[in-house]
């Protein structure tokens, strides 16, 4: 575990991670035994790792906050409901609508959340940060489907 990345997540994202609405994500499973809350932290961690590995000049605050909020849709997508029957196509918009009510979002955070499902949602990401999160989301989803939950990462990120 890269503690420098953990510090970055905590520095820019603690208010999100501790917020009542974000904590609701712990109730909703994303893949396997991984909650949406944990998935969001993993995507954030992987996004920062990608940026650091390639030495990319990015807006770190926007990257962290957009990654943490990218799946802020706040329902269990495994339980059928008319309102989210097209979850794969509609949840990015839903996450953005929820997130903007709770947090101040800049143009990069907005783009990260709305475009993270590219190419399922056909509009491509506009910023480097959005491309990174979209890639990190797919890496994380694949990893979560194969492996178990990573409690250590969760424990380290929560202050
Ligand atoms: Fe998503
Ligand atoms: Fe996701």
Query: ∠ CA 61-142-97 to the nearest 5 degrees?
Result: 45
pLDDT of residue 86: 85
State residue 148's pLDDT score.
Answer: 67
Q: Point out the ligand nearest to the CA of residue 90.
A: 1
As a whole number of angstroms, the distance between CA 56 and CA 69 comes to: 21
Distance of CA 137 from the midpoint of ligand 2 (Å): 5
- For ligand 1, the distance from its centroid to the CA atom of residue 122, given in whole angstroms, is 14
Q: Sketch out the chain's domains with CATH numbers.
A: 3-157 (1.10.3210.10)
Residues with CB under 5 A from ligand 2 (ion): 71, 137
pLDDT in tens, 15-41: 999 999 999 999 998 877 889 999 999
Tracing tokens 């926007």 back to the chain, one arrives at 62
In this structure, are residues 70 and 52 in contact, taking their beta carbons and an 8 Å threshold?
A: no
- Provide the mean pLDDT of the chain: 91
pLDDT tens readout for residues 107-136: 999 999 999 999 999 999 999 999 999 999
Q: What is the pTM of this model?
A: 0.92
What DSSP designation does 103 have?
Answer: S
Q: How far is the CA of 138 from the centre of ligand 2 (A)?
A: 7
In the reported structure, the alpha carbon of residue 35 is separated from the centroid of ligand 2 by a whole-number distance in angstroms of: 10
């Amino acid at each position: 575990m890269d503690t420098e990345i953990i510090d970055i997540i905590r520095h820019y994202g603690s208010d999100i991670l501790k917020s009542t609405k974000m904590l609701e994500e712990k109730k909703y499973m994303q893949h396997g035994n991984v909650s949406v809350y944990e998935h969001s932290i993993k995507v954030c961690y992987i996004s920062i790792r990608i940026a650091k590995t390639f030495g990319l000049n990015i807006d770190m605050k926007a990257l962290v906050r957009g990654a943490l909020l990218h799946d802020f849709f706040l329902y269990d997508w495994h339980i059928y409901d008319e309102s989210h029957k097209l979850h794969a196509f509609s949840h990015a918009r839903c996450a953005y609508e929820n997130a903007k009510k709770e947090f101040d979002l800049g143009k990069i955070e907005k783009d990260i959340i709305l475009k993270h499902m590219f190419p399922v949602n056909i509009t491509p990401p506009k910023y480097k940060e959005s491309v990174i999160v979209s890639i990190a989301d797919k890496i994380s989803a694949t990893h979560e489907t194969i492996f178990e939950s990573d409690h250590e990462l969760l424990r380290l990120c929560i202050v």
